[in-house]
Every structure is written in structure tokens, then in C-alpha cells.
Amino acid sequence: MKYVITESLAAAMAPFIVQYIPVDRYCKLQRGGVYPIVSLYLDNMDWRLCRESITGVKNRFKLRIRSYTDEPDYPRFFEIKRRINTVIMKSRARVMDRDIEALLRGLPLPPQDYKTDEKALNQFQLYMKSINAGPGVLIRYWRQAWEGEGDNRVRVTFDRDLCYCLTREPVVRLGGGGWQRNNMTKGHVVLEIKFTGKYPAWLSHMAKCFNLRLRSMSKYATSVRQASNERWCGPTISDWEDDG
């Protein structure tokens, strides 16, 4: 469940959230209580996966490689994010930075000194091959998060300073040049609520108390839409919407 909210509303909500679930363990380790996320999204030359997101295809998927640092000795994660009607499912495989380029060429993972989910990795490559996908755009932002424990895992996140960088390079990076700010979220916070079981009553109370309104918001699709509108990539979004 996604919302786009103001900074003042986010500041008011944070003390409410922490009454029910604690601050995420990774946020506790960071100065300022937030951590960076960067994802390299894959798509084909016609931006098929982005197009399916924009036109509202119910059963769709995204392919991305996620990282939390530019340090080469920390893992990256190959992720498939699938949407089946209103349910979101994610699978991920841990790899090292040195293996990304070969894996994106469709080569098998060579013998390694680390463990990974080979089934998820093979599935990622299968999905990638099925649409001839390659690197398309980097998405970067800073995350503040809370997470509960138990069977009905609840996670609430605030994402800020959303930026994108069009690229065809098999490189996942937080730094470097070419970054553009996503204007749709400028001065706002992207709120996401994730849960695995029954929708908790306190979340319903929070939505009512703070007058939250659900909003369809894809960090990936809105970034590519902006790049298209600014003539950084093609085809144009209007062409896609007319087709849909």
C-alpha cells in the first residue's frame, strides 16, 4: 500500500508508528536513522515492463538489482518483484558485485565462496531472457523504516530524495554523475505499508487519523515517465497510454 505524503505529515506519523513497531535494525545502525537504497531496473528496448506498470496490467513483474552501498565487498541482490492482482511477491538472490556483468550476459554463476538462492537467480535470468531485458535505469533514495516481528510481519517505510539515472551499463551505483531528481516526489515522502497476513487494526486507525489516501506510485515508472517527457528516452509515454 503506497501513499505520497508531505514532510510535515511524515514527522507527525513517526511517533505514532513507533508505538506499535520498532525502528528497523538497519536504521538503528545509521547516523540520522536512514540508509540509502539503489536499484538497477532491467527492461527491454521498448520499456515493456515499465509500460505494463503504467497501463495497469494486473499480473506483471519487475527485474532489478539492489544495493545499499558502493563498497565492492558488500553483496548485491537480484530481485524479481511480481504482482498477482493485489498481492506482491518478491524473490531475491545474493551475489557479489564482481559477478553482475557475467550474470546479465546470461552466464551461470561460477563456483563461489558465498551462498545464494540459485533457484531465484536462475528464475531471474529466465525472466530476463524471455523479454530480452537489460539495464535501463538506476533508482536511488533514502529510507527510514519500522518493522514488527511475529507471524503477521508489518513493515512501514518512508522514502525520500528519489532520483534516477538512465543507463545501459551493468553497474549498480549510488554515486557518480547523471542523476536527475524525480519531480513527482520533490518535497514529499513516499510511504509504503507492507504486511503478510491480516491488515492490523492500528494501521487502519493510522490511515483514518492522518487522512491517508491510497495512490498508485511506482518509483520506476514515474522516473521513466519523467525521462520520456523530457525526451531523454523513447518511445513517449503518450504513445503507451494511447495503446493501453
Q: Which residues pair with 158 in a beta bridge?
A: 144, 191
Give exposure, 4-15, as e/b (b: 16+ Cβ within 10 Å).
ebeeebbeebee
Architecture (CATH level 2) of domain 2-243: Alpha-Beta Barrel (3.20)
Query: How confident is the model at residue 237, as a pLDDT?
Result: 55
- Residue recorded with cell 544495493: 67
| Cis status, amide bond into 235, omega within 30 of 0 | yes
pTM, two decimals, is 0.91
Tell me how far apart the terminal alpha carbons of the chain are, to the nearest angstrom.
Answer: 23
141 has a pLDDT exceeding 50: yes
pLDDT in tens, 196-239: 878 889 999 999 999 999 887 899 999 999 998 887 765 555 55
Instruction: Determine the Cα–Cα distance for residues 100 and 78; give it in Å rounded to an integer.
Output: 9
Instruction: Determine the Cα–Cα distance for residues 14 and 1; give it in Å rounded to an integer.
Output: 17
Domain extent listing, the chain: 2-243
pLDDT in tens, 96-132: 999 999 999 999 988 877 889 999 999 999 999 999 9
Radius of gyration of the chain (CA): 18
